[in-house]
Structure 1
Amino acid sequence: MKAMIHEGKDGLDGLQMKEVPEPSLKPDEVKVRIRAAGMNRRDLAVITKRHKAEDPLLIPGSDAAGVVEEVGGSVTKFKPGDEVVVNPGIGWEVNSEAPPEGFEIVGFPYQGTFAEYICQSEKFIEPKPEHLTFEQAGVLSLAALTAYRALFTRGKLKKDQTVMLPGIGSGVLTFALKFAKAAGARVIVTSRSEKKLQEALELGADRAVKTESDWNKGLEEEQVDLLLESIGAATFTQSLGIVKKGGTIVTFGATTEDEVTINIRTFFYGQYNLLGSTMGSAEEFRHMLSFVKQHEILPQLDKVFSLEEYREAFEYLENTKNFGKIGISISNS
């Protein structure tokens, strides 16, 4: 089968197209012909930081939607011809406070979705929402699940609360914006890009401010109940300073430096909550899909590349040009 693979060199130089054997089907697995896949910043981190030139061949990619080609002998949920989405989290079936031991994500260390086929346990395959195209469904899974858990499981967002999303533009945060508005929340966003601020307002954001501005001066009258922090050191102090006393920060990433410094006395006097979050369980994945179907939410699809345009796609992601998700078109049949 045709696949985008990473081997032989570090970083983007290790990417190439290659014919590789189709994955073999186990009794509990579903073989999916992938129609479209989605890119995440995790893919960039995998090929630049985690997967090295001397490691075995790796197919990156975590998101995918496609059509069931074949099912294993013990599979009961699906049949050939079913339209499905891939849940990229492996080994986390029911909701829990943290991922269980052995939880992994498709695309590293397991082979990923930037290929014509993938085989996955039926536990981590779900029916594709009917209102989504393959390209829309192909970019859904990882970012939408991350946003859903951060907002609702960890952040416990409620109607009429105010949520703040620093650094709007990523797949996760565009999903968080749409999910929060669907839940009846008020949403404030920040970005260094005027274009992205305007795009967020067009999607329904209630307020939009520059990331490098003084948030407390621009948002004096706001009471931020919940803030999703994914930038790290560059914004964390501002984030802590804008959340109301007793409010909550949920962090699920760090696009800048990992280590942050806080005034612990300010923190405990303010009664703040700081929570970590990552991905989600298969149970939450199904709840997220139900939420998406109920509210007919569409992923914010920024641009779609062909599989052969892998270099351009990774460079586009690396330069943070996207507002929303980046898709990879793989098969039309």
Structure 2
Amino acid sequence: MERNELLEPIPSQMKAVVVTEYGGLEKLEERMVPVPIPNENEVLVKIYACAVNNSDILMREGGYGTDTKENERAGWKREGISFPRVPGTDVAGKIISAGSNIDPKCIGENVVLFPFMSSGADGSEHMAEDITLMSSECDGGYAEYITWPKELCRPMPLESYAESASFIVSCFTAWHMLEKSNVVPGEKILITGATGGVGSYAVQLASKVFGAEVIALARDLSCKERLIDLGASEVLSYKSATLSDDILKAAGGEIDVVLDVVGNPLFSTCLQVLRNGGRLATSGAVAGAVTQLDIRTVYLKHLSIIGCTLGTRKEFDQMLSEIREGKIQPLIDKVFPLERARDAQEYFKKSEKFGKVILQNETNI
């Protein structure tokens, strides 16, 4: 395919950070690789910003396990990764070239990329067996350029590339958790990991979009005022020796819905504070993927445990609309240049961060 109506000259090689094999930060390497060429239904996007996610790190570490062996190294689909692989799922950039079936008028548009492809029907695309997730089954955003289906490109919600990239997977995941939990105005919601990407956006969404009363859990109370500004009614430390009682007191009763990304250390507490008929949505296990569960708690309290990963295109578009209207604010903790991806991932794992960590290809964007 010939590149058509180019916005700017496109080099044959680009800078990319790749994962060479499962392992530590030393398995992240900066390389020069060929610039991808879009097929007939794709566009070439110049990447200006890409957020760091826990999934990037778990992919490098092989931390997802498999269906049969919890400690076996595997990627997001619990299958082996084809290395080298460019990580990164949260891409914001500019379309600079288009495939032969794409109207070239789109060249020059600033876009964010819906982070996966699948053949699933509308509303169930995130549950399809053939999902191709950026950074796991195909190369992602730790690079200067990426090709992606034009139909999965959306207008950038904010003027800033870095701010727009900050929402893509974390805020999208939080939105999906709230949707799947069928949250209604006035319900009491407990959010774990509230200073992280998913948790901090969940606080905003739950309170300001879904109209819920939010109890936020964090490591300590140094961020209390910031979380209250985001919409939390109360902020508690998960290190409290009386956490269950603290939650019930803060909520004035039992909890309707828990949004959990922490996993094992808080799982039993989350179930304990739920009311009869309560719901727990889980989308991560940053502090422990394997837990013990007293099944009697689930059936005697009529609880629903809801697994959440990614979401639908409709939810993604709804989220972007709320961002454009200013209901959700971008939360960026720190920005690194692309070549410091190792530092960015190391910093990402620090518990004291608040919000997203961003990789940039250029400054002042």
Scaled by the length of structure 2, what TM-score is found? 0.85
Superposed CA offset, 1:95-154 (max 9, x none): 12961111121011200101111100112211111x3411101122111111111012x1
Rounded to whole Å, the distance in 1 between the matches of 2:160 and 2:117 is: 24
Rounded to whole Å, the distance in 2 between the matches of 1:258 and 1:64 is: 27
Asked if 1:21 is matched to 2:47, the reply is no
Where in structure 2 are the equivalents of 1:282-321 lying within 5 Å? 282-321=313-352
Flag the 1:121–1:97 CA change in 2: closer, same or farther, 3 A. closer
Higher mean displacement: 256-265 or 67-76: 256-265
Unpaired runs of at least 5, structure 1: none
Rounded to whole Å, the distance in 2 between the matches of 1:321 and 1:190 is: 13
Rounded to whole Å, the distance in 1 between the matches of 2:206 and 2:105 is: 32
One-letter amino acid matched to 2:183: L
The answer to whether the 8 Å contact 1:14/1:53 transfers is no
Q: 1:96 aligns with which of 124, 128, 131?
A: 124
Q: Which residue of 2 aligns with 1:265?
A: 296
| CA-CA distance at 1:89 after TM superposition | 1.8
Asked if 1:33 is matched to 2:60, the reply is no
Asked if 1:327 is matched to 2:358, the reply is yes
| CA-CA distance at 1:90 after TM superposition | 1.6
Q: Secondary structure at the match of 1:234?
A: helix
Asked if 1:190 is matched to 2:217, the reply is yes
| CA-CA distance at 1:72 after TM superposition | 0.9
Flag the 1:32–1:286 CA change in 2: closer, same or farther, 3 A. same
The answer to whether the 8 Å contact 2:156/2:164 transfers is yes
Rounded to whole Å, the distance in 1 between the matches of 2:82 and 2:132 is: 18
| CA-CA distance at 1:320 after TM superposition | 3.2
Rounded to whole Å, the distance in 2 between the matches of 1:4 and 1:240 is: 40
Q: Which residue of 1 aligns with 2:239?
A: 212
Alignment: residue pair count: 331
Q: Secondary structure at the match of 1:37?
A: strand
Superposed CA offset, 1:193-228 (max 9, x none): 222334312322111111022233223323321111
Q: 2:89 aligns with which of 37, 42, 62?
A: 62
Rounded to whole Å, the distance in 1 between the matches of 2:105 and 2:327 is: 23
Q: Which residue of 2 aligns with 1:179?
A: 205
Rounded to whole Å, the distance in 2 between the matches of 1:12 and 1:73 is: 39
Q: Which residue of 2 aligns with 1:150?
A: 177
Higher mean displacement: 44-53 or 254-263: 44-53
The answer to whether the 8 Å contact 1:148/1:176 transfers is yes
Runs of 4+, deviation exceeding 6 Å: 51-54
Asked if 1:113 is matched to 2:156, the reply is no
Q: Secondary structure at the match of 1:314?
A: helix
Q: Which residue of 2 aligns with 1:249?
A: 280
Higher mean displacement: 71-80 or 178-187: 71-80
Q: Secondary structure at the match of 2:163?
A: helix
| CA-CA distance at 1:321 after TM superposition | 3.6
Rounded to whole Å, the distance in 1 between the matches of 2:125 and 2:34 is: 38
| CA-CA distance at 1:53 after TM superposition | 12
What's the C-alpha RMSD, in Å, of the aligned pairs?
2.2
Q: Which residue of 2 aligns with 1:5?
A: 18
| CA-CA distance at 1:313 after TM superposition | 0.5
| CA-CA distance at 1:77 after TM superposition | 9.1
Superposed CA offset, 1:226-262 (max 9, x none): 1111111110000001111111101111113322223
Flag the 1:310–1:241 CA change in 2: closer, same or farther, 3 A. same
Asked if 1:169 is matched to 2:232, the reply is no
Q: Which residue of 1 aligns with 2:56?
A: 43
One-letter amino acid matched to 1:108: S
The answer to whether the 8 Å contact 1:29/1:72 transfers is yes
Unpaired runs of at least 5, structure 2: 1-13, 63-73
The answer to whether the 8 Å contact 1:163/1:225 transfers is yes
Asked if 1:135 is matched to 2:166, the reply is no
The answer to whether the 8 Å contact 1:32/1:69 transfers is yes
Rounded to whole Å, the distance in 1 between the matches of 2:165 and 2:82 is: 27
Question: How much identity, in percent, do the aligned residues show?
Answer: 27
Rounded to whole Å, the distance in 2 between the matches of 1:6 and 1:75 is: 32
Flag the 1:105–1:78 CA change in 2: closer, same or farther, 3 A. farther
One-letter amino acid matched to 1:84: V
The answer to whether the 8 Å contact 1:34/1:331 transfers is no
Rounded to whole Å, the distance in 1 between the matches of 2:172 and 2:159 is: 16
One-letter amino acid matched to 1:23: P
Larger relative contact order (C-alpha < 8 A, sep ≥ 6)?
1
Q: Secondary structure at the match of 1:235?
A: helix
Q: Secondary structure at the match of 2:170?
A: helix
Q: 1:84 aligns with which of 111, 115, 127?
A: 111
Flag the 1:168–1:75 CA change in 2: closer, same or farther, 3 A. same
The answer to whether the 8 Å contact 2:98/2:104 transfers is no
Superposed CA offset, 1:154-173 (max 9, x none): 11111111111012111111
Q: Secondary structure at the match of 1:227?
A: strand
